[in-house]
Amino acid sequence: MKIVNTVKEMQKIVDTHKKNGDRIVCVPTMGYFHEGHLSLMRIARDYGDIVITTLFVNPTQFGPNEDYQRYPRNFQRDVELASSVNIDYLFSPSVEEMYPDNYHTKITVSKFTDKLEGVKRPGHFDGVATIVAKLFNATKPEVAIFGQKDYQQVLVVKQLVKDLLYDINIVVAPIVREPDGLAMSSRNVYLSQEERNIAPEIFRALNLGIEAVQKGEKRRKIINSIVIEHLRKFPQFFVDYVSAVNAEDFSEPNEFHSGDKIVILVAVFLGKTRLIDNMITTVP
């Protein structure tokens, strides 16, 4: 595995591979790797010849009171873990490399960003869209792998790719969970032992919502309330939002219809840590 720090070097390397007929796969990350990240890298190998993992904690997608400064980082550990799954390149640019002096451009995707994370974290998706576009320009992939856990982000990235005419196939990989159901996240390291013991109740709450849908519940507000009621049994949770939406267009009808693919999305604070999760099902 080779570590690359500059855009020009990354582009030069990619151009050489493309001349040789290699297919490039990109796995964008913010580092502090866990099994969820590694699963994306393994999946990437099935889609091409050269796998590039990007490691960049992007300041523009953090709000002023969010955790950019304390976001977990351990570069040497990340290098060892990425090497263990045999990726070809780790693209790890500096903030100055990605946002040089006199940088004045940002990308705004208006669809899918007017609710949930887009409302709770103003400007977040502008930062996501901008850095994803820049990482795509640096790595020039034919395929990019994203995780389902950031479901709304995936829809934003797909819209970005469509609207800006990127010839990139976006592959969405399933959520990787701990044995007790907690979705793997770099931020899980923030949790105290007591909080970590309670965190799997997010998974159980989502399961209750999915079970209700499978038993015939189609009313969106009832589905939401089932999930919320379980979470509220635990005073340690502060529920930021729970929302069942159409998985394709993010609409929120009063009632879903048979055959609809829906996703239930959750964001909660557990202590000072904000956790997100989701589950997808099809209405019978």
Domains of the chain, CATH where assigned: 2-173 (3.40.50.620), 186-277 (3.30.1300.10)
CA end-to-end distance (rounded Å), the chain:
46
**Closest by Cα among 40, 30, 81, 53 to 141:** 53
Separation between Cα atoms, residue 171 and residue 183, nearest integer Å: 19
What is the pTM assigned to this prediction? 0.96
What pLDDT is attached to residue 38? Answer: 98
Half-sphere exposure of 232 (CA within 13 A, CB side): 9
Percent of the chain with pLDDT over 70: 100
Cα–Cα–Cα angle for 28, 32, 52, rounded to 5 degrees: 30
Which one of the listed residues 37, 104, 230, 257 is annotated catalytic?
A: 37
Q: What is the pLDDT of residues 69-85, one digit of tens each?
A: 999 999 999 999 999 99
Q: What is the pLDDT of residues 23-50, one digit of tens each?
A: 999 999 999 999 999 999 999 999 999 9
Please, what's the b/e burial string for 219-258 (b: 16 or more CB within 10 A of its CB; e: otherwise)?
A: ebeebbebbbebbeeeebbeebbbbbbbbeebeeeeebee
Active site residue 17: no
Q: What is the pLDDT of residues 213-255, one digit of tens each?
A: 999 999 999 999 999 999 999 999 999 999 999 999 999 999 9
